[in-house]
């Protein structure tokens, strides 16, 4: 730990006003890496119960050839250090990686990300044979070799607390034939991953799907993946939308974001942009960032990931990596995005909390009406063929035996490993000034004490004085098995921790 936690000095007896004091007096507590969980249509920090909004980028340097027997985006500590310095400079809290090789070691890069307070959403597929589902003839690729690969990724990354979730698939349904043949297989992979996690993983890591935003399937596919077909295991825990509809100068309405919000407004799970950032008008200004975190969207969307960090042939990059040297040249897009993130106002906490309460009530009503808080599947979904039902479960043996792969673990990092040996320049060739070293904002090494957990005594007294949250703790949801799940956060902790993430975080 580089900094000491601040001791709280005030005594909380004044209701609302005291939480303002709290905000001021201990904004810097170091916390462990808190896993993210899903409650209703929110991601929550599973320790503080604060809602978690994804503010991130997609990260796959080298594109599909960036993963091989010897290297992948999270295997080389030096390039990780180089890029995590920029992630912190941008002020993001999440990256998405599309393909990794589970045979490689990812401990150092994952520890660096954890230390920097950055979460990972990881796709389990890769372009290699036996490592993805063929969208046209999925029955040929849905087999034990494939599932073994998927489970290896899950097994290894389950052990990192900063693995936010897994994508079971990306844009598998994207035309008429794939929409006929693949939906039931997508659901089967989700089912198998969730069963594997339930049986083998140290915690319940959310499993989702990342969809091409095609109007023919926008609503129907999301509904189909949300519903419970045979068992709650087969429904997604979150839904990612790849959206490129805000191009150049737009507004919430001219971009059609308002329609997206309407379309997903009753979704029972978190929805976010798993890719966004149209490049039809360049350099990109990223004004959609302001819309995404505004009151127009925060009740339905949990943020998003800008496509993408490095420049690849399709021209979506924020930075160019020089092939020979590995040095970084920042495009104008990088600076625009950074400035958009810096201009973000704080989220409207009150609105989020009121909506969480509404969301909890809706979930509760669904639970009362049926056995589950998600809808049951219908017979048909528009433009999809789901008539054959899920393919037979073939994974039980593999799930019970578990797969053989190195489990991820955090390691001790030397200060020297947090520094980058690469140079950073702007597009006109000037040196770009950046911190010399990754800032440790999270304690990834101490298993014994959690500063956030030590605090609550006065915190709680203070909380119950506050009319705003008076009845929040009564919101408890009972799931189908009769066990109880608290669905609502403690407002003060929520607000306190949000400040870390949404104020300009460079302390």
Ligand X SMILES: *[C@@H]1O[C@H](CO)[C@@H](O)[C@H](O)[C@H]1NC(C)=O
Nearer to ligand X, 198 or 322 (CB): 198
Residue 474 is a catalytic residue: no
- Find the shortest distance in angstroms from Cβ 328 to ligand X: 30
How many Cβ atoms from other residues are within 10 Å of residue 176's Cβ?
A: 10
- Find the shortest distance in angstroms from Cβ 310 to ligand X: 29
Q: Would you give the distance in Å from CA 133 to the centre of its chain?
A: 22
> For residue 212, which of 178, 181, 261, 188 has the smallest C-alpha distance?
178
- Find the shortest distance in angstroms from Cβ 338 to ligand X: 28
> For residue 287, which of 250, 314, 323, 321 has the smallest C-alpha distance?
250
Beta bridge partners of 210: 170, 240
Q: Could you give the CA distance from residue 159 to residue 430 in angstroms, rounded to a whole number?
A: 41
Q: Could you give the CA distance from residue 99 to residue 128 in angstroms, rounded to a whole number?
A: 10
N- to C-terminal Cα separation, the chain? 15
Nearer to ligand X, 232 or 326 (CB): 232
- Find the shortest distance in angstroms from Cβ 237 to ligand X: 13
- Find the shortest distance in angstroms from Cβ 442 to ligand X: 8
Q: Residue 12 in contact with residue 459, Cβ under 8 Å? A: yes
CA torsion, ordered 106, 110, 111, 117, to nearest 10 deg: 180
Name the residue with tokens 């921790």.
497
Nearer to ligand X, 66 or 138 (CB): 138
Nearer to ligand X, 97 or 190 (CB): 190
Pairing of the two strands 42-45 and 36-39: antiparallel
Nearer to ligand X, 126 or 161 (CB): 161
Q: Residue 101 in contact with residue 403, Cβ under 8 Å? A: no
Name the DSSP class of 347: P
| Angle CA 446–82–170, to nearest 5 | 85
Pairing of the two strands 119-123 and 328-330: unpaired
From 275, 288, 308, 312, active-site residue: 275
Q: Residue 172 in contact with residue 215, Cβ under 8 Å? A: no
- Find the shortest distance in angstroms from Cβ 370 to ligand X: 18
Q: Residue 3 in contact with residue 28, Cβ under 8 Å? A: yes
Residue 171 is a catalytic residue: yes
From 171, 332, 362, 475, active-site residue: 171
- Find the shortest distance in angstroms from Cβ 46 to ligand X: 6
Name the residue with tokens 């400035």.
339
CB contact burial 284-303 (16+ within 10 A = b; e otherwise): bbbebbbbbbeebbbbbbbb
Question: Would you state the structure tokens that stand for residue 136, as one six-digit string?
Answer: 């046209």
Nearer to ligand X, 231 or 376 (CB): 231
Name the residue with tokens 């639970």.
367
Nearer to ligand X, 198 or 346 (CB): 198
Nearer to ligand X, 34 or 106 (CB): 34
Nearer to ligand X, 32 or 305 (CB): 32
How many Cβ atoms from other residues are within 10 Å of residue 473's Cβ?
A: 12
Name the DSSP class of 467: G
- Find the shortest distance in angstroms from Cβ 444 to ligand X: 5
> For residue 242, which of 317, 305, 173 has the smallest C-alpha distance?
305
How many Cβ atoms from other residues are within 10 Å of residue 82's Cβ?
A: 22
Q: Report the interface residues with ligand X, using CB under 6 A.
A: 32-35, 46-47, 161, 191, 195, 198, 230-231, 233, 393, 410, 444, 447
Q: Could you give the CA distance from residue 157 to residue 119 in angstroms, rounded to a whole number?
A: 12
- Find the shortest distance in angstroms from Cβ 393 to ligand X: 5
Report the catalytic residues.
171, 275
């Amino acid at each position: 730990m580089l900094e000491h936690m601040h001791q709280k000095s005030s005594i909380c007896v004044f209701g609302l006003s005291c939480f303002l004091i709290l905000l001021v007096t201990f904004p810097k507590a170091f916390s462990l890496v808190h896993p993210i969980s899903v409650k209703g249509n929110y991601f929550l920090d599973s320790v503080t119960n604060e809602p978690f909004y994804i503010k991130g980028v997609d990260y796959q340097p080298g594109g599909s050839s960036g993963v091989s027997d010897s290297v992948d985006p999270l295997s080389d500590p030096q390039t990780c250090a180089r890029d995590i310095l920029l992630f912190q400079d941008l002020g993001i809290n999440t990256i998405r990686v599309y393909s990794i090789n589970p045979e490689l070691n990812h401990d150092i890069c994952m520890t660096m990300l954890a230390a920097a307070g950055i979460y990972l959403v990881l796709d389990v597929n890769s372009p290699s044979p036996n490592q993805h589902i063929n969208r046209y003839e999925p029955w040929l690729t849905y087999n034990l070799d494939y599932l073994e690969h998927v489970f290896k990724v899950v097994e290894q990354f389950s052990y990192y607390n900063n693995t936010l979730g897994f994508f079971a698939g990306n844009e598998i349904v994207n035309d008429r034939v794939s929409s006929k043949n693949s939906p039931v297989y997508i659901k089967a992979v989700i089912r198998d991953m969730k069963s594997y996690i339930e049986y083998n993983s140290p915690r319940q890591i959310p499993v989702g799907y990342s969809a091409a935003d095609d109007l023919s399937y926008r609503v129907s596919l999301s509904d189909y993946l949300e519903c419970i077909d045979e068992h709650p295991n087969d429904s997604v825990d979150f839904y990612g939308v790849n959206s490129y509809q805000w191009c150049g100068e737009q507004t919430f309405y001219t971009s059609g974001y308002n329609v997206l919000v309407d379309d997903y407004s009753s979704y029972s799970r978190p929805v976010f942009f798993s890719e966004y950032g149209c490049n039809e008008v360049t350099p990109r200004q990223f004004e959609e960032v302001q819309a995404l975190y505004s009151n127009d969207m925060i009740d339905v969307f949990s943020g998003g990931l800008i496509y993408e960090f490095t420049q690849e042939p399709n021209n979506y990059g924020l930075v160019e990596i020089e092939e020979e040297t590995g040095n970084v040249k920042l495009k104008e897009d990088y600076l625009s995005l950074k400035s958009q993130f810096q201009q973000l106002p704080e989220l409207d906490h009150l609105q989020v909390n009121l909506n969480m309460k509404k969301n909890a009530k809706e979930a509760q009503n669904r639970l009362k009406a049926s056995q589950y808080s998600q809808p049951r599947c219908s017979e048909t979904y528009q433009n999809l063929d789901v008539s054959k039902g899920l393919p037979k479960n073939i994974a039980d043996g593999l799930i019970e035996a578990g797969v053989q792969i190195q489990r991820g673990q955090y390691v001790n990092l030397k200060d020297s490993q947090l520094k980058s040996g690469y140079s950073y320049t702007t597009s006109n060739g000037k040196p770009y000034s950046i911190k010399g070293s990754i800032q440790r904002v999270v304690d990834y090494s101490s298993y014994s004490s959690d500063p956030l957990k030590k605090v609550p005594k006065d915190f709680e007294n203070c909380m119950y004085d506050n009319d705003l949250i008076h009845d929040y703790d009564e919101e408890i949801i009972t799931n189908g098995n009769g066990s109880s799940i608290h669905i609502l956060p403690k407002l003060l902790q929520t607000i306190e921790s949000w400040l870390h993430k949404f104020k300009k975080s460079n302390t």
